């Protein structure tokens, strides 16, 4: 679960960088649910992984959380359209 959430977070981060380009902000509407699913997978990974090997799941959780915050801020700045 940790590796999946980490890869999910990396894909979400790349998608977030593309969605920061003007006129591509509409991608944030799809990015937020995508990153939320990644955060849920990461949370499950943190819960069910042994305490010594939770690093990937925690990193995935942080990445997906950061992507959600930036995407919401971008939507608020652009009025939710662009």
pLDDT digits (tens, 9 = 90+) for 35-49: 999 999 999 999 998
Question: How far is the C-alpha of 47 from the C-alpha of 78, rounded, in Å?
Answer: 36
Question: How far is the C-alpha of 37 from the C-alpha of 53, rounded, in Å?
Answer: 21
pTM of the predicted model, to two decimals? 0.88
Q: Is the pLDDT of residue 82 over 60?
A: no
Distances (CA, A) of 60 to 17, 41, 53, 81: 17, 9, 13, 28
Query: Per-residue confidence at 2, pLDDT binned at 50, 70, 90?
Result: confident
- Which pair of tokens denotes residue 80? 């939710």
Over residues 20-69, the pLDDT tens digits come to 888 888 888 999 999 999 999 999 999 998 888 889 999 999 999 999 99
């Amino acid at each position: 679960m940790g590796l999946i959430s980490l890869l999910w977070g990396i894909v979400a981060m790349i998608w977030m960088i593309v969605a920061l380009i003007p006129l591509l902000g509409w991608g944030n509407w799809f990015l937020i649910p995508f990153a939320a699913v990644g955060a849920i997978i990461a949370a499950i990974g943190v819960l069910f992984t042994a305490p010594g090997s939770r690093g990937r799941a925690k990193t995935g959780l942080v990445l997906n959380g950061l992507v959600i915050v930036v995407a919401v801020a971008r939507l608020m700045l652009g009025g939710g359209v662009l």
